[in-house]
């Protein structure tokens, strides 16, 4: 299915028509987590966003290779300590135990949010050889220099000769006063404050270190993405994504490394997701304005009144565009929860509809709404607008389901057409799932029996029994919904 996709390209600062390098294949690289502690909720938003982008590209018929790395070395803290090593020290674990622990936790969380696994999930420590080769290429091409066993990227030279530095982040090198941590520590070594380390000589007590032509040391943080994207997607690929706080310095430096080693821009489209705020403010553990994914789904946080299911959280996030800041709040989640249920109920009803009509005068209107949802997705993956379209369908579906609109107004062909689009979009592209599902048939059978008994009582105008059943079920967390066609039930 060939669709006309428009993507906002951060590099160009405008929307562009998406044309992949190879007609049928798409290569996409997304900066993954640094696995030194539990995954951040904002991080989850980013990966959910790219999961939907991944899924939609596949829905459009592309074969997508989605590479999302695991950073397990080289990402340093303010004091110059490696994030992984700090985690290891604090928890008295082997560095790789830390990596494994939080990688597992990250995967568990991604699974809860029903995201697909990437095609390749490479680790930085598994690609030391490639990173050393990349450093060598950069040196060979004259953009890297070694001092005392560490290798630095010559940013001013690169900027002057290529004019490529600062394009993504909109920075001018003269204005940059770099304080990147590895540089703070070795301030004297660098020729220019904006130079950054691509290979760091390790102190004797440093645990994670490897042999290299320059020293026993470890790679700079920005290096891994350059090396791994090139290895798995080629020196040029279609989409590079990440959170917008990575634009500088990480992505800017990544581009510099790629351009200086192979002479070409790595990605044609740069996509950046925006921040997740809590109650209008940036999440920050230090001032208490923070909530973790686990707290959100267990309800164990002062910021929320109850537990929210992962799908509700996901639905909430879908209501905002990935490139806009999103403000998380209890009220917002509550609203999302109701909206999500309503949508799920409507889809259930939709999937039960059957018509024998061969033509219907609502056909065009309904099909146009469904098509519209896809058109919105074509426009930079606008999930909020696509959802709005689906919600336009909800009253129509409900009216058809309860007979307020005759089913003969819609042809069987149109119903199947709409069912296909709605189900594909909601379940395959958005990756939502109906949490009411998955009940065992025992419960279904039981409920059918109970509701039949209640129906008999109602027919006999035995309101006492009828209400007793209804109230009892309510107390058990099950809501009975009566309609002309009979009674349905749903978990509260």
Q: Residue 392 Cβ, how far from RNA at the closest point, in Å?
A: 6
Least Å from the CB of residue 315 to RNA: 9
CB of 75 to RNA, least distance (A): 6
Q: Which residue, 150 or 169, has its beta carbon nearer to RNA?
A: 169
Pick the closest to residue 276 from 299, 251, 293 (CA basis): 293
Residues in the chain: 492
- For residue 458, CA distances in Å to 41, 78, 471, 484 come to 48, 70, 14, 13
The closest of 128, 122, 120 to 27, measured between CA atoms, is 120
We find the least distance from the C-beta atom of residue 22 to RNA, in angstroms, to be: 27
Residue whose CB is less far from RNA, 413 or 467: 467
CB of 53 to RNA, least distance (A): 14
| CB of residue 359 to RNA, shortest distance in Å | 22
Q: Nearer to RNA by C-beta: 280 or 288? A: 280
DSSP state of 427: I
Torsion angles phi and psi, residue 466, rounded to 5: -55, -45
Residue 55 or residue 396: which is nearer to RNA going by CB?
Answer: 396
In the complex, minimum distance from the CB of residue 332 to RNA, in angstroms, rounded to a whole number: 4
Instruction: Select 236 or 455, whichever has its Cβ closest to RNA.
Output: 455
Q: Is 306 exposed, middle or buried (0-12, 13-18, 19+ CB in 10 A)?
A: exposed
Smallest separation, CB 142 to RNA (Å): 24
User: Would strands 63-68 and 25-30 be described as parallel, antiparallel, or unpaired?
Assistant: parallel
Select 45 or 55, whichever has its Cβ closest to RNA: 45
Whether the Cβ atoms of residue 363 and residue 415 lie closer than 8 Å to each other = no
Q: How far is the CB of 119 from RNA (least distance, A)?
A: 20
Choose among 20, 232, 245, 287: nearest CA to 121: 232
Q: Which is nearer to RNA, 16 or 327 (CB)?
A: 327
What is the nearest approach in angstroms of RNA to the Cβ of residue 396? 7
Q: For residues 324 and 449, which CB has a smaller minimum distance to RNA in the complex?
A: 324
Q: At what angle do helices 310-318 and 330-352 cross, to 10 degrees?
A: 100
Bridge partner list, 144: 153
Please choose, from the candidates 302, 172, 320, the residue with its C-alpha nearest in 3D space to the C-alpha of residue 248. Answer: 172
Which is closer to RNA, CB of 59 or CB of 391?
391
Tell me how far, at minimum, the Cβ of 354 lies from RNA, in Å. Answer: 18
Tokens read off for 10: 């951060």
Cβ-based nearer residue to RNA, 3 or 181: 181
Contact criterion met (CB below 8 Å) for 151 and 141: no
Of 381, 319, 288, which Cα lies nearest the Cα of 28? 381
Q: Strands 276-278 and 326-328: what pairing?
A: parallel
How many of the other CB atoms lie within 10 Å of CB of 385? 17
Instruction: In angstroms, give the least distance from the CB of 101 to RNA.
Output: 16
Shorter beta-carbon distance to RNA: residue 62 or 271:
271
Alpha-carbon gap, residue 335 to 312, rounded angstroms:
10
Q: Whose Cβ is closer to RNA: residue 231's or residue 341's?
A: 341
214 and 244 Cβ atoms separated by less than 8 Å:
no
Q: What is d(CA 264, CA 169) in angstroms, rounded to the nearest whole number?
A: 18
For β-strands 144-147 and 217-219, DSSP reports them as: unpaired
Q: Which two tokens stand for residue 458?
A: 């109602």
If you compute the radius of gyration of the chain from its CA atoms, what whole number of angstroms results? 27
DSSP-derived pairing of the beta strands 150-153 and 144-147: antiparallel
């Amino acid at each position: 299915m060939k669709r006309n996709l428009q993507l906002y390209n951060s590099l160009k600062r405008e929307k562009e028509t998406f044309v992949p390098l190879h007609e049928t294949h798409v290569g996409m690289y997304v900066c993954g987590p640094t696995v030194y502690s539990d995954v951040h909720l904002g991080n989850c938003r980013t990966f959910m966003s790219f999961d939907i982008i991944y899924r939609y590209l596949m829905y459009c018929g592309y074969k997508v290779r989605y590479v999302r790395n695991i950073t397990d070395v080289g990402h340093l803290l303010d004091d110059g300590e490696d994030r992984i090593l700090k985690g290891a020290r604090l928890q008295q674990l082997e560095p790789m135990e830390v990596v494994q622990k939080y990688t597992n936790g990250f995967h568990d969380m991604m699974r809860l949010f029903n995201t697909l696994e990437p095609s390749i999930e490479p680790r930085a420590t598994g690609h030391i050889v490639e990173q050393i080769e990349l450093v060598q290429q950069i040196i060979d091409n004259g953009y890297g220099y070694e001092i005392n066993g560490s290798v630095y990227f010559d940013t001013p030279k690169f900027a002057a000769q290529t004019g490529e530095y600062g394009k993504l982040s909109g920075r001018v090198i003269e204005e940059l006063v770099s304080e990147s941590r590895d540089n703070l520590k070795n301030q004297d070594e660098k020729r220019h404050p904006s130079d950054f380390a691509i290979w760091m000589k390790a102190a004797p007590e440093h645990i994670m270190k490897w042999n290299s032509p320059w020293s026993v040391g470890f790679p700079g943080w920005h290096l891994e993405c350059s090396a791994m994207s090139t290895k798995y997607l080629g020196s040029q690929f279609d989409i590079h994504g990440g959170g917008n706080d990575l634009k500088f310095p990480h992505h800017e430096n990544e581009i510099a490394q790629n351009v200086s080693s192979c002479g070409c821009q790595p990605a044609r489209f740069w996509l950046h997701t925006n921040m997740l705020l809590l109650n209008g403010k940036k999440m920050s553990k230090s001032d208490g304005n923070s909530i973790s994914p686990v707290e959100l789904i267990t309800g164990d946080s002062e910021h929320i009144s109850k537990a929210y299911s992962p799908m509700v959280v996901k639905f909430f996030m879908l209501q905002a565009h990935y490139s806009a800041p999103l403000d998380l709040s209890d009220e917002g989640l509550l609203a999302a929860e109701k909206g999500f249920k309503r949508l799920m109920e409507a889809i259930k009803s939709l999937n039960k509809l059957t018509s024998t009509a061969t033509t219907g005068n609502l056909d065009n209107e309904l099909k146009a709404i469904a098509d519209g949802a896809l058109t919105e997705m074509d426009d930079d993956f606008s999930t909020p607008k696509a959802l709005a379209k689906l919600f336009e369908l909800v009253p129509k579906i409900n009216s058809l389901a309860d007979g307020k609109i005759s089913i003969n107004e819609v042809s069987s062909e149109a119903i199947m057409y709409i069912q296909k689009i709605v189900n594909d979009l909601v379940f395959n592209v958005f990756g939502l799932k109906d949490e009411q599902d998955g009940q065992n048939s025992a419960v279904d059978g039981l409920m059918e029996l109970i509701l039949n008994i209640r129906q008999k009582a109602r027919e006999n105008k035995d309101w006492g029994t009828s209400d007793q059943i209804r109230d009892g079920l309510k107390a058990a967390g099950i809501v009975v919904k009566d309609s002309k066609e009979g009674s349905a039930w749903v978990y509260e």
